[in-house]
Amino acid sequence: MIPKEGMSEDEIFAELEKRLRSDLTFNSGKILGSMCTYPHPLAQKVIQRYIDRNLGDPGLHKGSKEIEEEAVQMIGELLHLKRAWGNIVSGGTEANILAVRAFRNLSGVEEPELILPRSAHFSFLKAKDLLKVKLVWAELNDDYSVNVKDVEAKITDNTIGIVGIAGTTGLGVVDDIPSLSDIAVDYGIPLHVDAAFGGFVIPFAKALGYDLPDFDFKLKGVQSVTIDPHKMGMAPIPAGGIIFREKKYMDAINVLAPYLAGGEIFQATITGTRPGANAIAVWALLKHLGFEGYKEVVGEAMENAKWFAEQIKALNGVYLIREPMLNIVSFGSKELKKIEKDLKKRGWGISAHRGYIRIVMMPHVKREHLKSFLNDLVEILKK
């Protein structure tokens, strides 16, 4: 119940400190299975200063709207698009829903079907439910990338779009997006790339010499990309990104908001009132870190992934699910359930998928944390 007399600020913080003790924090180095990280200090300052900005009413906050557009443009250019359309949104879920919504609305198909890999994130289940789009699942190859032949075989007159993933949630696998793009062009079907995780990894990893497939607007079939600043972009939650190749996709989802300060404006996002500060923080981080800054962050994460994968291979009792493509390493074991329980008991924030444990080398994950994790793992395996 809400107290009759309010508590003092000191009392509030004293209680919160006590109550939130059960939260794991990124700074502790114990969170190894999350795709989020401790937000960059500059972003925190930006959020604090511009906390009141509302992108739901851009007529009031014209400067914020411009900054959001610039952030979208910068991300678009990172993805080889000259003129980008889109929004900074609440996360990958909203971004994926917006892409499916745009494809569906433009298709004119009465019983819409979306072809997507078995490895797709569960946000597409929400899209299906909200948008009444049938999901047609494409099978995976032995290396956990989508089977492109199966995608092609599943195309029908009702197909409104194809999804490829650039950094799968469980294993960080980058699908063969160039081949998916070829199919998309051949059949005249739009391709959406879910690079919620990989979007802020692949461009920099490629620049570092890692051999990864193209995944962005360089490929003609790619019509939209989900790319989340609140994952490897180091922005505070919430900050997702949806980028469209053409304005027509925005037009297909824009809703008229007639009475706001800006006059007749359009909203494409699911959320109405939405944080301007987070979009401004994204802009600030892109400007502050620059390409070289992100490259450095990604370089360390990729090195950690390579190193950790070798350590797992050298251990008895656990095995690597597949060689990492990005900064995600997943391992399996005959005794996975027991290992998972014991690791959690020792305070590790890990993410246990069906059949494996996923370690995500986020910027807050340092070599010393991984070493300490491996020590615990070895002890658990000995028991």
Q: Is 169 near ligand 0PR (CB under 6 A)?
A: yes
Least distance to ligand 0PR, CB of residue 95, Å: 7
- The span of 51-59, 89-97, 172-180, 312-320 binding ligand 0PR (CB under 6 A) equals 89-97
**Rule CB under 6 A: is residue 123 a binding residue for ligand 0PR?**
yes
Task: Tell me if 200 contacts ligand 0PR by CB under 6 A.
Answer: no
Query: Applying CB under 6 A, does 175 fall inside the site for ligand 0PR?
Result: no
Q: Cα dist. 57→65, 218, 237, 260, 326 in Å?
A: 9, 33, 20, 6, 38
Options 39, 91, 190, 221; binder of ligand 0PR; rule CB under 6 A:
91
Q: Which of 28, 46, 50 is nearest to 38 (CA)?
A: 28
Binding to ligand 0PR by residue 365, rule CB under 6 A?
no
**For 149-178, what is the HEC assignment?**
HHHHHCCCCCEEEEEEEECCCCCCCECCHH
Between 57 and 172, whose beta carbon lies closer to ligand 0PR? 172
3 state SS of 116? strand
> Is the CB of residue 241 less than 8 Å from the CB of residue 99?
no
Q: How far is the CB of 194 from ligand 0PR (least distance, A)?
A: 5
Could you tell me the smallest distance in angstroms from the CB atom of residue 354 to ligand 0PR? 13
- Name which position in 203, 240, 241, 276 contacts ligand 0PR (CB under 6 A): 240
196 binds ligand 0PR (CB under 6 A): yes
Task: Number of residues interacting with ligand 0PR: please give it, by CB under 6 A.
Answer: 16
CB of 378 to ligand 0PR, least distance (A): 25
Taking CB under 6 A as the criterion, the residue among 88, 228, 274, 284 binding ligand 0PR is: 228
Shortest Å distance, C-beta 199 to ligand 0PR? 10
> Is position 93 an interface residue for ligand 0PR (rule: CB under 6 A)?
yes
User: What string of H, E and C letters represents the secondary structure of 315-382?
Assistant: CCCCEECCCCCCCEEEEECCCHHHHHHHHHHCCCECEEECCEEEEECCCCCCHHHHHHHHHHHHHHHH
Angle between helices 367-382 and 336-345 (to 10 degrees): 120
- Of the candidates 303, 300, 302, the one whose C-alpha atom is nearest the C-alpha of residue 198 is 302
3-state secondary structure of 225: strand
145-176 in b/e burial notation, b at 16+ Cβ within 10 A?
bbbbebbbebbeeebbbbbbbbbbbbbbbbbb
Q: Are 71 and 284 in contact (CB under 8 A)?
A: no
78 versus 165: smaller Cβ distance to ligand 0PR: 165
Please tell me whether residue 217 adopts helix, strand or coil conformation. coil
One residue of 53, 104, 121, 274 binding ligand 0PR per CB under 6 A: 121
Q: Which helix (H) or strand (E) holds 311?
A: helix 276-314
x/- site string to ligand 0PR, residues 312 to 351, per CB under 6 A?
----------------------------------------
* 241 binds ligand 0PR per the rule CB under 6 A: no
Kindly tell me which of 116 and 280 has the beta carbon lying closer to ligand 0PR.
116
Tell me which stretch binds ligand 0PR (CB under 6 A): 33-41, 144-152, 292-300, 324-332.
33-41
In the set 29, 86, 92, 241, which binds ligand 0PR (CB under 6 A)? 92
User: Which pair of tokens denotes residue 227?
Assistant: 């790319």
Degrees, nearest 5: CA angle 312-313-319: 80
Nearer to ligand 0PR, 57 or 176 (CB): 176
Fill in the per-residue mask, 148 to 167: x = in contact with ligand 0PR (CB under 6 A), - = not in contact. -----------------x--
Q: Tell me which DSSP letter residue 220 carries.
A: T
Token pair listed for 296: 């450095």
Residue 30 DSSP SS3 = coil
**In terms of CB distance, is 165 or 284 closer to ligand 0PR?**
165
Q: Which is nearer to ligand 0PR, 124 or 204 (CB)?
A: 124
Residues forming the site for ligand 0PR (CB under 6 A):
34-36, 91-93, 96, 121, 123, 165, 169, 194, 196-197, 228, 240
